Chain A
């Protein structure tokens, strides 16, 4: 193997020789430099390979022919090789990326570049503390040189701030090192460690100076203004190097000198880390410039790494895994984002809307954002999981909470930014050139993230059983994105059908509960995909993300352990986020959906972590054997799941998200997606049924459910937008489901299940139909529609059946649910809550009437004179669902009877008795088939009677009415159903005032204002930054050392 010393030799030799080519062919000098970088990568890579596969032992490299401490020695071990490989690969890619700059700026910058990486390499390998100082200086000076790559005034002044700040820091380091030499009589790190200088008077101060200098190199909040300016002003290609490569080396150095500090160092580092993580991310919130935002995020991530290092005593042998996962995600994703910044070339994050001119770049950006936030399947997801689990196991709840809060804040600005990229208007943004040498490095790091993520997952036994084949299928679909929509639609349907075929039968045999949900998810998925045939063109990006959601949903069902469940949950969140943001005005709604989902997911994560605490297992069964913190765990998990069911207080994301979504997406995210929350609740409640704490929690849950039903329905009644009406209606319906579950009785649960199935079917029918109508008429506003009954009879019938079912009027299955609900409430004795739920049911009539009357009845609008029936591709799934609805209405026992058996496992008392089709409770009975027949006969009789009666009626055409020469310009004022419930609004409107939205806005304002205030410490004055550094040293010294 090629010895590590050749890294130095090659780099220096190259840098020195480059001088020969000063004015000569710059392509040749570039190739020369690239070769050197490649060779350095090769050396480190082969050592990494040897350590991973051939049980290579750590080796020491002596220089000058003497052993340490007399000479400087280097060390090459597994950890060194990992870091070297990471840094050198980034260096190689960065060199390729910077090709144009190097060619333009000449040979000096190439020298500086190679030497920067040589410096970082030696910094990692060296075991001599003064040598460490020298090569840190090389790295700093080289960085200062690269900062001024474009020679602008801002870059130069940032470079000056950088160089003067690092000069002070290394001065401090030097004082520390010389003092350590005085106390230890050696500069060899291994010798120094043995001496425990921390217990020597003065020695402790010396060690402190070295430690604080290394920490300051890592840019702790708030003594990091100089670094932020650099990130903003330097070329993004350089920002990538500082953020990814230099910071990784810095972290390694900290780990290297940590043994000198001893155990007392952990606490300081942890505290500094968490302050940096929280502070930096908080200030990032107000940032609207892309490069500087990346700077804040970089510093935040390094803060998280410091925190992890500081928590080593609690993380034990997991520390390395966690730190590796976070670091690799940070390094690759941040390098990728900086590089993208150089391609997009937009100063402000709003300008990133330009990036979607190239879908590949947008996908890459999404990869990096999700990797940074810690979504599956990226390494950071598994690392974060382990981190949270270990913290819970060691009772470090405050640390756990702070880390989750910091991650959440980071998610806010990252997803806001990503939202701009996907949705902000981009018509007048400049186009940017796309060069292959820039795109390739970005693609490689993205691919690396997926690959390493997969292998990190394998390292955790609970994650190793995750089935990656569906994800592979998605990758294939993504690769086929250039095909027309109908082809991908067919492939997706086939995929889901095959998926259903492989897993559904087994659930039907063994697990009726999961069967119901998996049918809703997969069959629902297939049906909504059928509607996709109505779309022309390519529908870029739609199929992969929709499938991600479905795969995530199925993973939740299939999950055997908490990690798998969480994996599926996050996958589902990611997929649905993309689905939602596809809608026309969905940017803000998708962000709010993502924030509630992330908040919910973190609560679930915390709940899981506390639940598995002390149980030595991650199986889902741990939820049923909770012993400590039971109240907190159940509350955390419940709130987490309620974010997905959009229960009151956590519902504000839903109306916009569902209302603005595409026509076939609305049913996906409404009829299907919301059931994930229901499933979560069911898992939680069935597991904790015996815990005494559940009783009080479900009591609150019951009230929440009932009030949610009322508020949701009221909100729906006052909508003028058809899809928002349906969205509010979903909130109300989910309120019923939650209410039913909260009763914790046999009938209550049966109610909840009935509502779950019903809501799936009629909300899918209604959203599909209304969506299809919207596609035809081009507006969501009901007052701009009317009289469509003759144009779209199939749509009318579908909506009619949908609202009959939803209203709970016999004979359709909504009545089944309502009948069960009444029985359950009466038997449970929840009269007050029940009354609210009943009242909500009445309000449902209001909005349902409004829905059908304003769209289909009344006057046909002038511009709709030529609209056609809704697309056949919508009619097919709609009528399939209608058939299902009819069967469920006529033969409810087919499903409810086996369901009852399942529920009886948990609630054996108060069962519904079945006698053929006749259901009996202690207070009454009902027969689905009979009711269906009776109502059917009555309906036919009445219809015949009406037809006979109105045989002679004169048909009045619309234009029989005279407008007196006036043409109405405001459609809403001439539509009968506009503001039709104004009276109710006066009476009950206060209930639907946006109190809750205002509350969340208020919270958001407070956080943003704080960030805006605090970030003024970064005055831009280099001298102030220096003062920060000195003050930081003094303050940390007096806080920790006296």
Chain B
């Protein structure tokens, strides 16, 4: 188990989530499940992002009692991916809200959640 560091485990988890998300996106016929597929995909990416910013045996990039103010550079993990993931999460939230709203509207109009029932536009 020596090679399996924390960040590797989370990274692999993230990748697997991404793949599961894509699988859901491509195989599920229910619109809501497709949206769930997307959120899995998105969450997977967020986990990947956080894993990439991790530095072994360090703490969160917040200067409090656990961090030596004179040696911050050697005691915290990378704050950048954490900042980016915050942005990404918010964006993902916005996108998910929109998807669900569109699904809701589609359902209201046609009373169906099957993606196969929305093939009017083609060729």
Question: CB distance A168 to B41 under 8 Å?
Answer: yes
Interface residues of B in 71-116 (CB under 8 A from A): 80-81, 84, 87-88, 91, 94-95, 98-99, 102-103, 105-106, 109-110, 115-116
Question: CB distance B45 to A160 under 8 Å?
Answer: no
Of A94-102, A147-155, A621-629, the stretch lying at the interface with chain B is: A147-155
Question: CB distance B102 to A1030 under 8 Å?
Answer: no
Q: CB of A525 within 8 A of chain B?
A: no
Query: B residues within 8 A CB of A1022?
Result: 115, 118
A144 vs B120: C-alpha distance when bound (angstroms)? 18
Which partner residue on chain A sits nearest B84 by CB separation? A130
Q: CB of B26 within 8 A of chain A?
A: yes
CB contact between A1023 and one of B34, B87, B120, B123 (< 8 Å): that residue: B34
A179 vs B53: C-alpha distance when bound (angstroms)? 10
Which partner residue on chain B sits nearest A1026 by CB separation? B25
A1020 vs B118: C-alpha distance when bound (angstroms)? 7
Query: A residues within 8 A CB of B119?
Result: 1019-1021
Query: A residues within 8 A CB of B87?
Result: 130, 134
Query: B residues within 8 A CB of A1018?
Result: 122-123
Question: CB distance A181 to B25 under 8 Å?
Answer: no
Which partner residue on chain B sits nearest A145 by CB separation? B98
> A294 to chain B: closest CB distance in Å?
14
Q: A160-B99, A178-B49, A1030-B26 are in contact. Are A1020 and B109 (CB under 8 A)?
A: no
Q: A153-B106, A163-B99 are in contact. Are A171 and B41 (CB under 8 A)?
A: yes
A159 vs B100: C-alpha distance when bound (angstroms)? 12
> A316 to chain B: closest CB distance in Å?
38
Query: A residues within 8 A CB of B109?
Result: 153, 156
Question: CB distance A178 to B81 under 8 Å?
Answer: yes
Question: CB distance B25 to A148 under 8 Å?
Answer: no
Query: A residues within 8 A CB of B88?
Result: 174
A168 vs B103: C-alpha distance when bound (angstroms)? 17
Q: CB of A1016 within 8 A of chain B?
A: yes
Q: CB of A164 within 8 A of chain B?
A: yes
Question: CB distance A168 to B81 under 8 Å?
Answer: no
B36-65 toward A: CB 8 Å interface, digit per residue (1/0)? 001001100100110010000000000000
**Could you say which of A164, A233, A1021 has the most chain B C-beta atoms within 10 Å of its C-beta?**
A164
Query: A residues within 8 A CB of B106?
Result: 153, 156-157, 160
A175 vs B41: C-alpha distance when bound (angstroms)? 11
CB contact between A164 and one of B18, B34, B45 (< 8 Å): that residue: B34
Question: CB distance A1021 to B121 under 8 Å?
Answer: no
> A470 to chain B: closest CB distance in Å?
45
A179 vs B123: C-alpha distance when bound (angstroms)? 37
Which partner residue on chain B sits nearest A186 by CB separation? B80
Question: CB distance A1019 to B110 under 8 Å?
Answer: no
B19-33 toward A: CB 8 Å interface, digit per residue (1/0)? 000100110010100
Question: CB distance B81 to A181 under 8 Å?
Answer: yes
Interface residues of A in 364-386 (CB under 8 A from B): none
Tally of A-B Cβ pairs under 8 angstroms: 112
Question: CB distance B115 to A1023 under 8 Å?
Answer: yes
CB contact between B115 and one of A130, A145, A1021, A1030 (< 8 Å): that residue: A1021
CB contact between A137 and one of B18, B45, B84, B91 (< 8 Å): that residue: B91
Which partner residue on chain B sits nearest A151 by CB separation? B105
Query: A residues within 8 A CB of B115?
Result: 1021-1023
Q: A130-B84, A156-B109, A168-B41 are in contact. Are A1016 and B95 (CB under 8 A)?
A: no
Question: CB distance A154 to B123 under 8 Å?
Answer: no
CB contact between A1016 and one of B49, B84, B94, B123 (< 8 Å): that residue: B123
Question: CB distance B120 to A160 under 8 Å?
Answer: no
Q: CB of A1015 within 8 A of chain B?
A: yes
**Could you say which of B38, B48, B115 has the most chain A C-beta atoms within 10 Å of its C-beta?**
B115
A852 vs B40: C-alpha distance when bound (angstroms)? 84
Question: CB distance A156 to B105 under 8 Å?
Answer: yes
> A14 to chain B: closest CB distance in Å?
20
Query: A residues within 8 A CB of B18?
Result: 171, 175
Which partner residue on chain A sits nearest B42 by CB separation? A171
Q: A144-B98, A1023-B34 are in contact. Are A154 and B48 (CB under 8 A)?
A: no
Q: CB of A348 within 8 A of chain B?
A: no
Interface residues of A in 170-185 (CB under 8 A from B): 170-171, 174-175, 178-179, 181-182
CB contact between A168 and one of B25, B84, B116, B123 (< 8 Å): that residue: B25
Question: CB distance A167 to B95 under 8 Å?
Answer: yes
CB contact between A181 and one of B80, B116, B118, B122 (< 8 Å): that residue: B80
Q: CB of A1027 within 8 A of chain B?
A: yes
Query: B residues within 8 A CB of A232?
Result: 121
Interface size on B, residues (CB 8 A): 38
Query: A residues within 8 A CB of B26?
Result: 1023, 1026-1027, 1030
Q: A141-B98, A157-B106, A157-B120 are in contact. Are A167 and B38 (CB under 8 A)?
A: yes
Question: CB distance B121 to A158 under 8 Å?
Answer: yes
Query: B residues within 8 A CB of A181?
Result: 52, 80-81, 84
Which partner residue on chain A sits nearest B80 by CB separation? A181
Question: CB distance A1030 to B22 under 8 Å?
Answer: yes
Q: CB of A585 within 8 A of chain B?
A: no
A163 vs B35: C-alpha distance when bound (angstroms)? 11
Which partner residue on chain B sits nearest A153 by CB separation? B109
Which partner residue on chain B sits nearest A130 by CB separation? B84
CB contact between A178 and one of B42, B52, B94, B105 (< 8 Å): that residue: B52
**Could you say which of A145, A154, A178, A1018 has the most chain B C-beta atoms within 10 Å of its C-beta?**
A178
Question: CB distance A1019 to B122 under 8 Å?
Answer: yes
A232 vs B120: C-alpha distance when bound (angstroms)? 11
Q: A144-B98, A167-B99, A178-B84 are in contact. Are A1020 and B121 (CB under 8 A)?
A: yes
> A178 to chain B: closest CB distance in Å?
5
Q: A179-B52, A1022-B115 are in contact. Are A229 and B121 (CB under 8 A)?
A: yes
CB contact between A160 and one of B29, B49, B102, B123 (< 8 Å): that residue: B102
Query: A residues within 8 A CB of B81?
Result: 178, 181
> A825 to chain B: closest CB distance in Å?
56
Query: B residues within 8 A CB of A228?
Result: 121
Q: CB of A864 within 8 A of chain B?
A: no
A167 vs B93: C-alpha distance when bound (angstroms)? 11
Question: CB distance B25 to A1023 under 8 Å?
Answer: yes
A1015 vs B123: C-alpha distance when bound (angstroms)? 5
Query: A residues within 8 A CB of B103?
Result: 160
> B36 to chain A: closest CB distance in Å?
12
Query: A residues within 8 A CB of B49?
Result: 174, 178
Query: B residues within 8 A CB of A145?
Result: 98
Which partner residue on chain B sits nearest A1014 by CB separation? B123
Query: B residues within 8 A CB of A1023?
Result: 25-26, 29, 34, 115
Q: CB of A861 within 8 A of chain B?
A: no
Query: A residues within 8 A CB of B29?
Result: 1023
Interface residues of A in 109-143 (CB under 8 A from B): 130, 134, 137, 141
Question: CB distance A148 to B102 under 8 Å?
Answer: yes
Query: B residues within 8 A CB of A163?
Result: 95, 98-99, 102
**Could you say which of A156, A182, A287, A1021 has the most chain B C-beta atoms within 10 Å of its C-beta?**
A156
Q: CB of A286 within 8 A of chain B?
A: yes
Which partner residue on chain A sits nearest B109 by CB separation? A153
Which partner residue on chain B sits nearest A157 by CB separation? B118
Query: B residues within 8 A CB of A187?
Result: 80
> A1027 to chain B: closest CB distance in Å?
5
A145 vs B94: C-alpha distance when bound (angstroms)? 12
Query: B residues within 8 A CB of A159?
Result: 102
Question: CB distance B120 to A164 under 8 Å?
Answer: no
7 contacts between A and B (CB under 8 A): A153-B106, A163-B98, A167-B99, A175-B18, A178-B45, A1018-B123, A1020-B120
Given A164-B38, A171-B41, list of 18 further CB < 8 A pairs? A154-B121, A156-B109, A159-B102, A160-B118, A163-B99, A164-B99, A168-B25, A178-B45, A178-B49, A179-B52, A233-B121, A287-B123, A1015-B123, A1020-B123, A1021-B116, A1021-B118, A1026-B26, A1027-B26
Chain B interface residues toward A at CB < 8 A: 18, 22, 25-26, 29, 31, 34, 38, 41-42, 45, 48-49, 52, 80-81, 84, 87-88, 91, 94-95, 98-99, 102-103, 105-106, 109-110, 115-116, 118-123
